[in-house]
Amino acid sequence: MKLSPALSRKASRHPCRLSAWLLTLIMVAGAGLTAASAQDASQQQAPHWVTAWAMSPSTLPPGMLPADAAGHNEFDDQTLRLIAHVTAGGETVRIRLSNTHGNKPLHIGAASIAEQGRGSAIAAGTLQSLSFGGQPDIIIPRGAVVFSDPLPFPVDAFTSLSISLYLPEPSGLPTTHRAAMQTSYVGAAGDATRAASLDDAQAIAFWHYLTAIDVSGGDAVSTIVTVGDSITDGVGSTVDTNNRWPNLLALRLRNEAGMPTYAVANAGLSGNRVLHERSPMFGENLLARFERDVLALSHVSHLVLLEGINDMGMSVSMATDQQVSAAQIIAGYRQVAERARAHGIKVIGATLTPFEGAGYFSEAGEAKRQLVNAWIRDSGFFDAVIDFDAAIADPDNPARLPAAYTSDNLHPNDAGYAAMANSIDLSIFAQESLF
């Protein structure tokens, strides 16, 4: 190190003092380099998680909870075996459990993960136990969310997994998802998390407590989240076939040459509205649940927003303070988008699909739908637009779905959901993740 003339003069007068000063300088610089190196190493080693499966939770009033064979409407000394179809693969997994809507602490006595075999059976040789902070069990406080420990568990995209949870004591009000469009299972009694199958199981059409499955070590760059209501939830599709439009979008993306690889997480919630809520089973309004159901997922890069038809349909029969205008729904969209963009998320607006013939259809609601759709298409507010309305409307009556695409005039069927997925211009996902 070459010293300036001033420092050279000081060195001649105070050699010990300068030596100490130089030593301090070198130590500080070295410590800074060590800290920076440690930080870089930590960042390099941190898992790159994406959310390969998700559900948005709600709950049910006690009188509406599905009872088991003994008539109980809570879980007690029972094992849940929940089936979830992941949209991305990886080498390591973790699950997210939620007691968001519970009325007491929830004790998870044991948990396991495996590939699904047939029904409640698991694929041979795939079962592994899950842990929480190194322990086999955990108590989840009321309203809280927990992750399991990362577990080496190689899994391919589009694999159905069996997540087993043992609840050793009365669970209280469950955190649930009622429109799973997927069969899961409840064992009669005892810890069956490591059982090859639940021979005495009761089939259920709900997911309970399990709200996300993350994977790392795979090829997915980030997560696309689809947020909406029952149409995003896949109501009207065939149970156990994974024919929801988000699942079909994930397949298209995976098969598209030159496209970045994504996980697709479904944040649809049947009966949900942008601005209001009517019943616990429909969940909190979108603005209230957005942080938990979208922003809390792992490495989200894109959001597809398809919600609002229930605001229009249900408001006709709702109290005056829940009546909504097209302008109010648009204002809700703006809030959702700005919150997403604050996290670096690209926001894609989707037009609302036809609903003439549905039980809550009205001409006033249809007029609002047209106004909202025109704004989605023409405002330039969104980063991209998917025109689901144009994709599946009846050419002879654009206010309706054609018979080939629906069975109830509101929800698409398998063919309708396929038409929705096939209408999406995949180039809107061509930009790789920001992460």
pLDDT in the model for residue 27:
46
How much is the mean pLDDT over the chain?
A: 89
Name the pLDDT band for 112 (thresholds 50, 70, 90): very high
pLDDT in the model for residue 319:
62
pLDDT in the model for residue 6:
44
Q: What φ, ψ does residue 240 adopt, rounded to 5°?
A: 70, 15
pLDDT in the model for residue 323:
86
- pLDDT tens for 340-385 read 999 999 999 999 999 999 999 999 999 999 999 999 999 999 999 9
Q: Give the chain's radius of gyration (CA, Å).
A: 26
- Given a cut of 70, whether residue 41 has pLDDT beyond it is no
**Averaged pLDDT, 37-47:** 60
- Given a cut of 50, whether residue 23 has pLDDT beyond it is no
- Given a cut of 70, whether residue 21 has pLDDT beyond it is no
Question: Highest mean pLDDT range out of 29-33, 310-314, 376-380?
Answer: 376-380
Give the residue with greater pLDDT, 125 vs 17.
Answer: 125
Q: Which amino acid would we find at residue 69?
A: A
**Averaged pLDDT, 266-294:** 94
Interatomic CA distance for residues 366 and 364, integer angstroms: 5
Number of residues that make up the chain: 435
- Comparing 81-95, 107-121, 198-212, the range with the smallest average pLDDT is 198-212
- Comparing 9-13, 169-173, 196-200, the range with the smallest average pLDDT is 9-13
- Given a cut of 70, whether residue 264 has pLDDT beyond it is yes
Give the residue with greater pLDDT, 74 vs 406.
Answer: 406
- Which pTM was predicted? 0.88
- Comparing 1-5, 36-40, 319-323, 376-380, the range with the smallest average pLDDT is 1-5
Burial 63-100 (b: 16+ CB within 10 A, else e): eebeebeeeeebbeebbbbbbbbbbbbbebbbbbbbbb
**Averaged pLDDT, 278-303:** 95
pLDDT in the model for residue 322:
79
pLDDT in the model for residue 16:
44
pLDDT in the model for residue 2:
45
- Given a cut of 70, whether residue 132 has pLDDT beyond it is yes
Name the pLDDT band for 101 (thresholds 50, 70, 90): very high
Question: Whose CA is closest to 295, among 175, 364, 408, 212?
Answer: 212
- Given a cut of 70, whether residue 287 has pLDDT beyond it is yes
pLDDT in the model for residue 200:
86
Domain locations in the chain as residue ranges: 46-215, 221-435
pLDDT in the model for residue 46:
85
- Given a cut of 50, whether residue 336 has pLDDT beyond it is yes
Q: Which CATH architecture has domain 221-435?
A: 3-Layer(aba) Sandwich (3.40)
- Given a cut of 60, whether residue 72 has pLDDT beyond it is no
